[in-house]
Chains A and B, each alone.
With several copies, the nearest count.
Chain A
Amino acid sequence: MQLDVLVNNLLSAPVLFFFLGLIAVLAKSDLEIPQPVSRFFSIYLLFTIGIKGGEELAHSQWNAEVFLSLLLAVFMSAGVPLYAYFFLRRKFNSYDSAAIAATYGSISVVTFISAVAFLKEVNLDFGGHMVAAMTLMESPALIVSLFILKNTIKSDSAESKVSWAKLLHESLVNSSVFLILGSLFVGIVASEKSHNELAPFTEGLFKGFLALFLLDMGIVAAKRISALAKGGVFLISFAIILPLINASIAIILSYFLGISHGNAFLLAVLSASASYIAVPAAVRLTIPEANPGLFVPMALAITFPFNITLGIPLYYFITQALWT
């Protein structure tokens, strides 16, 4: 039965379309999703996750476990860069290390979506506040990484200019965070009638747009993967080992904090996931010295596919063993 779960996950339409995208590039197909269309897909996904998350949030109970899991979410996002950075410094310069640390402390929305779909498949409950937890994990990692960077390199003119106020502001209003937060808010205040009217759009189309978005991600991942060649085995192992470590820590802490099975699993997935949209854009602005040929393909072409194929079932088996 455990193999079933793994195979079902691998054969789900969105996962297959990700691989279709990879294959398209490797087979030198000219298949490409125009950028505005790609943006439309991600606007749709963020809008829908926000609206549905808001609906669930409005119906969920606020108890100690909820607060603990939100706290743990922030803790993981801020904590991951702390150990990742020093681990990375053995192989990379300060800039690249900080950039990669920020990437892995933050989260991937599509990985989260896949985990939620997985939970529904295996009939395991989770809290309505987990979309909020995800949103809370978007930004702390970048702030912590910049803080480390600033304190480890001798602050010369350029670096000393980091404006923390600007950074905090930016982390709240960057387009992904803003659209999810805004849609979350609308989802909370909207009436049941409103939700019903939106349902054919938000629920009906979700799987279709998700599959197309993953097709696009597969294409982009494959185009960026060649840049990894220089990084070699270390880079690729790192992109798989770090998620495993992050998930393990999240699972252990969840266990001792008494967080429920479903929420612990999602926190593990979020901690294991790495950002390849919002954080890379922010890193280009704040750490222009870092090589985007490293941190983007690591997150997008190694960690993301690892998580949605093997990682998610694996984190599930571990939590299942502990929680039942």
Chain B
Amino acid sequence: MENMYKIEIVLGSLHTEALLEILNKKGISGYTIIPHVKGKGDRVEYDGLGLNDAFSNNYIIIVVDEEILQKVKEPIRNFLSKYGGACIISDCLWLKQ
């Protein structure tokens, strides 16, 4: 088992691709996306309702080591400040196969 960091990002569905492109360039080894997530924060409510994806969030989970964490922190912050969304970081153990 390895000590890692778990980054969780809630982000408008339409912006996910752009963020992942940035993070892939920084060297993340993988990601998990839970689509069709609803939520409410400071901005408009994301009720996940019909017609288009403009009001639907993705929940993105990225497990990284300390080094990558430091590399991606700022880009995520910048991205979210432009496009909205929330991000939390916590410790975890990665069960290596």
Q: Do chains A and B touch in the complex (CB under 8 A)?
A: yes
On whether the beta carbons of B14 and A220 are closer than 8 Å, the reply is no
On whether the beta carbons of B82 and A35 are closer than 8 Å, the reply is no
Contact with B along A17-39 (1 / 0, CB 8 A): 00000000000000011010011
Stretch of A74-82, A196-204, A276-284 lying at the B interface: A276-284
On whether the beta carbons of B53 and A281 are closer than 8 Å, the reply is yes
Stretch of A127-135, A289-297, A311-319 lying at the B interface: A289-297
Q: Which of B36, B55, B82 contacts A292 (CB 8 A)?
A: B55
On whether the beta carbons of A280 and B44 are closer than 8 Å, the reply is no
**Docked CA distance A225–B81 (Å):** 26
Contacts of A35 in B (CB 8 A): 36, 48-50, 56
Q: Which of B14, B50, B82 contacts A281 (CB 8 A)?
A: B14
On whether the beta carbons of B52 and A278 are closer than 8 Å, the reply is yes
A248 within 8 A of B: no
Contact with A along B34-69 (1 / 0, CB 8 A): 001000000010011111111110000000000000
| B83 closest partner in A (C-beta) | A288
Contact with A along B66-97 (1 / 0, CB 8 A): 00000000000000001110000000000000
A228 within 8 A of B: no
On whether the beta carbons of B50 and A39 are closer than 8 Å, the reply is yes
Return A228 CB to nearest CB of chain B, in Å.
12
Contact with B along A270-311 (1 / 0, CB 8 A): 000000111011001100100111001000000000000000
On whether the beta carbons of B54 and A220 are closer than 8 Å, the reply is no
Given contacts A281-B53, A284-B12, A292-B55, contact A223 B47 (CB under 8 A): yes
Contacts of B56 in A (CB 8 A): 35
Q: Which of A158, A281, A285, A291 contacts B44 (CB 8 A)?
A: A291
Contact with B along A208-250 (1 / 0, CB 8 A): 0000000011011001000100000000000000000000000
On whether the beta carbons of A38 and B51 are closer than 8 Å, the reply is yes
B15 within 8 A of A: yes
Return A108 CB to nearest CB of chain B, in Å.
11
Q: Which of B36, B47, B51, B54 contacts A284 (CB 8 A)?
A: B54
Given contacts A284-B12, A285-B14, A285-B15, contact A292 B44 (CB under 8 A): yes
Interface residues on B, range: 10 to 19
Which residue of A33, A42, A285, A293 has the most chain B CB atoms within 10 A of its CB atom?
A285
| B12 closest partner in A (C-beta) | A284
Contacts of A280 in B (CB 8 A): 52, 54
**Docked CA distance A5–B8 (Å):** 55
Contacts of B51 in A (CB 8 A): 38, 42, 216-217, 220, 276-277
On whether the beta carbons of B84 and A288 are closer than 8 Å, the reply is yes
**Docked CA distance A32–B38 (Å):** 15
Contacts of A284 in B (CB 8 A): 12, 14-15, 54
**Docked CA distance A277–B52 (Å):** 6
Return B17 CB to nearest CB of chain A, in Å.
9
Contacts of B55 in A (CB 8 A): 292, 296
| B53 closest partner in A (C-beta) | A281
Contacts of B83 in A (CB 8 A): 288
Return A173 CB to nearest CB of chain B, in Å.
14
Which residue of B15, B50, B83, B84 has the most chain A CB atoms within 10 A of its CB atom?
B50
Return B36 CB to nearest CB of chain A, in Å.
7
With A223-B47, A293-B44 given, name 11 new contacts (CB 8 A). A32-B49, A35-B49, A39-B50, A217-B51, A219-B50, A220-B49, A278-B52, A280-B54, A288-B15, A288-B82, A292-B44
Q: Which 3 A-B pairs give the minimum distances between C-beta atoms?
A: A38-B50, A281-B52, A293-B44
Binding site for A on B (CB under 8 A): 12, 14-15, 36, 44, 47-56, 82-84
Q: Return 18 A-B CB contacts under 8 Å, by A number.
A: A32-B49, A35-B36, A38-B49, A38-B50, A38-B51, A223-B47, A277-B52, A278-B52, A280-B52, A280-B54, A281-B14, A281-B53, A284-B14, A288-B15, A288-B82, A288-B83, A292-B55, A296-B54
